[in-house]
């Protein structure tokens, strides 16, 4: 009886043919959709102190919106009140300002403007209070400056007409008076808020307001301006540096503006389609603008709303206004920021979170690897959120006591919430290139109705701009296989010379027989 050696090519070919037949005959499970909607975490409103949590829930009930809408804007309100006037000392030389960028997206007709108005109304009242308190000093300074200039001008005229023997003395006096007039500073009318202003105006307002400003809008038109609606060129410098707290120097014709530590807040409500538009702003991803926002996608309750909801309690609304006003006014006069310290336990809670997060940022195997430009900033964002929660709990004396471990753990809950929503937002923006490429291959397989195909044949049908090399195709095929759309077949090893055979794949009947 003749036998074949165990490493015989013919024997291996027989085994592989049998494997292929068995694979082809094996039943197919229902594939996992590539576009499956992510489960979005609910906003943990329990992290807020009672006065703020009650108001957020009351606004959500009265407007019949998800709590996320009011809650995410609440953080922008706290940031407006405290940003630029308080920093969190984390460890060593690491300090985080308490200003944040928040964008909340809801479809048209979902009452996001109503939520925005209720949440931000106390800020406009605070701005009016600050303006009224400074009005007297502004008028006095303006009059002093006017009189000083008149005296200096008169002295200059007198010196110009004087006889030669008296001119030098009068010129010296005129120069001294002119210098005195120039030194009179007229305070700027206090501003907390701007709307859809140009980047140049925002930079000027930041300089005038000592580096503190909040850009709040119920429509999100600021993103069109950043994209270059008026200039034709994207202009995001003031937003990048204003969020990070980096020195900002702006040269204008006739004057120079310098801001040592800008603290810009942004609180924007937009339509979901605007999020996709933001991602198309030239340089928004590479330069880090997209990575500076905390994103919130509240559930749209249209179609499920109560017609006669419980109205917002007047007592709850009054307390909200009182606390926002107290926080804003208590920090308004600070020139050097109040420094918030972490307790040792809070520092350890932050370190535990950082240790948990770090592996998630890996390009290979990390679930946040494809949005690492955003996720890598989460440690700092968590400290900022902890600072805001601390100040919300201690609206008048937060700088006198350290941030506790419980507050830091609450900030971590917020960071986890925003992480879940950021993943969904970046899905909308197309940040996951592997998933996007897998969808391209999916559509190719569906359109050609193949029952079986080689990798080489797939590659010849694809655009080289999206798939420059075969290595770019492999992750997409692996994802399709993980989702159950294709099955890799064993590669037949002939043992001969020449190019090895291309891997082959069986195609799910849902794609190869779409009408079946």
Per-residue pLDDT of the chain (516 residues; tens, 9 = 90+): 445 555 555 554 555 555 555 555 678 888 877 765 678 999 999 999 999 999 999 999 999 999 999 999 999 999 999 978 999 999 999 999 999 999 999 999 999 999 999 999 999 999 999 999 998 988 988 899 899 899 989 988 988 888 888 888 888 888 998 898 888 888 889 999 998 788 889 999 999 998 999 999 998 888 888 888 777 788 899 999 999 999 888 776 566 778 889 999 999 999 988 888 888 888 888 888 999 999 999 999 999 999 999 999 999 999 999 999 999 999 998 888 999 999 999 999 999 999 999 999 998 778 898 899 999 999 999 999 999 999 999 999 999 999 999 999 999 999 999 999 999 998 888 766 777 788 889 989 999 989 999 999 999 999 887 788 888 898 889 888 888 899 998 776 655 566 677 889 999 998 878 665
Return the pLDDT at 497. 63
Going by C-alpha positions, the residue among 463, 457, 435, 433 that lies closest to residue 445 is 457
Separation between Cα atoms, residue 114 and residue 110, nearest integer Å:
9
Separation between Cα atoms, residue 45 and residue 435, nearest integer Å:
33
Q: Which residues contact 255 (CB under 8 A, 6 or more apart)?
A: none
Q: Are 411 and 389 contacting, i.e. CB atoms less than 8 angstroms apart?
A: yes
Return the pLDDT at 350. 98
Give the DSSP per-residue string, 99-160.
--EEEEE--TTS-HHHHHHHHHHHHHHHHHHHHHHHHHHHHHHHHHHHHHHHHHHHHHHHHH
- The three-state (H, E, C) secondary structure of 166-201, written as one string: HHHHHHHHHHHHHHHHHHCCCCCCCCCEECCCCHHH
Separation between Cα atoms, residue 146 and residue 140, nearest integer Å:
10
C-alpha distances (whole Å) from 68 to each of 42, 56, 327 are: 7, 9, 22
Separation between Cα atoms, residue 331 and residue 84, nearest integer Å:
9
Return the pLDDT at 174. 83
Maximum CA pair distance of the chain? 136
Return the pLDDT at 255. 63
Return the pLDDT at 489. 87
Q: Are 263 and 212 contacting, i.e. CB atoms less than 8 angstroms apart?
A: yes
Q: Which residues contact 499 (CB under 8 A, 6 or more apart)?
A: none
In the numeric block, which tokens belong to residue 317? 């609304």
Q: Are 295 and 421 contacting, i.e. CB atoms less than 8 angstroms apart?
A: yes
- The three-state (H, E, C) secondary structure of 279-347, written as one string: HCCCCCCCCCCHHHEEEECCCCCCCCCCCCCCCCCHHHHHHHHHHHHHHHHHHHCCCCCEEEEECHHHH
Separation between Cα atoms, residue 512 and residue 448, nearest integer Å:
8
């Amino acid at each position: 009886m003749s036998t074949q050696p165990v490493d015989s090519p013919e024997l291996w070919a027989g085994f592989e043919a049998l494997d292929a037949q068995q694979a082809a005959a094996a039943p197919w499970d229902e594939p996992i959709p590539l576009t499956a909607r992510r489960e979005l975490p609910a906003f943990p409103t329990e992290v807020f102190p009672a006065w703020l949590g009650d108001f957020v829930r009351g606004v959500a009930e009265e407007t019949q919106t998800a709590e996320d809408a009011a809650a995410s804007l609440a953080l922008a309100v706290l940031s407006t009140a405290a940003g630029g006037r308080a920093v969190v000392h984390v460890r060593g030389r690491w300090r985080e300002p308490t200003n944040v960028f928040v964008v909340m997206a809801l479809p048209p007709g979902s009452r996001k403007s109503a939520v925005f108005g209720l949440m931000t109304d106390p800020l406009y009242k605070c701005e009016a209070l600050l303006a009224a308190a400074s009005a007297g000093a502004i008028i006095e300074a303006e009059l002093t400056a006017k009189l000083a200039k008149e005296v200096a001008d008169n002295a200059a005229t007198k010196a110009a007409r004087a006889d030669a023997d008296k001119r030098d003395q009068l010129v010296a006096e005129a120069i001294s008076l002119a210098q005195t007039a120039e030194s009179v500073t007229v305070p700027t009318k206090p501003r907390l808020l701007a709307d859809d202003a140009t980047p140049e105006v925002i930079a000027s307002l930041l300089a005038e307001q000592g580096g503190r400003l909040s850009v709040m809008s119920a429509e999100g038109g600021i993103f069109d301006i950043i994209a270059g609606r008026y200039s034709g060129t994207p202009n995001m410098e003031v937003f990048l540096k204003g969020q990070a707290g980096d020195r900002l120097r702006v040269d204008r014709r006739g004057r120079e503006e310098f801001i040592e530590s800008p603290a810009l807040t942004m609180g924007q409500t937009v339509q979901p389609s605007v999020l996709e538009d933001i991602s198309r702003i030239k340089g928004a991803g590479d330069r880090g603008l997209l990575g500076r926002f905390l994103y919130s996608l509240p559930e749209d309750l249209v179609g499920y709303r109560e017609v006669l909801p419980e109205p917002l309690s007047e007592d709850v609304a009054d307390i909200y206004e009182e606390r926002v006003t107290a926080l804003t006014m208590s920090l308004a006069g600070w020139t050097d920021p109040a420094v918030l310290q972490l307790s040792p336990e809070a520092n350890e809670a932050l370190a535990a979170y950082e240790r948990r997060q770090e592996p998630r940022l890996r390009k290979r195997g990390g679930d946040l690897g494809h949005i690492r430009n955003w996720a890598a900033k989460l440690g700092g964002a968590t400290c900022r959120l902890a600072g805001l929660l601390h100040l919300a709990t201690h609206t008048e004396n937060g700088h006198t006591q350290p941030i506790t471990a419980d507050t830091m753990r609450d900030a971590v809950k917020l960071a986890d919430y925003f992480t879940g929503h950021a993943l969904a937002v970046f899905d909308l923006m197309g940040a996951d290139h592997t998933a996007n490429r897998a969808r391209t291959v999916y559509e190719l397989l569906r359109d050609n109705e193949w029952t079986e195909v080689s990798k080489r044949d797939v590659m010849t049908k694809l655009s080289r701009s999206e798939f420059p090399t075969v290595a770019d195709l492999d992750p997409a095929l692996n994802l399709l296989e993980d989702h159950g759309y294709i099955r890799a077949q064993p590669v037949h090893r002939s043992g001969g010379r020449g190019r090895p055979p291309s891997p082959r794949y069986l195609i799910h009947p849902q794609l190869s027989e779409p009408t079946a």
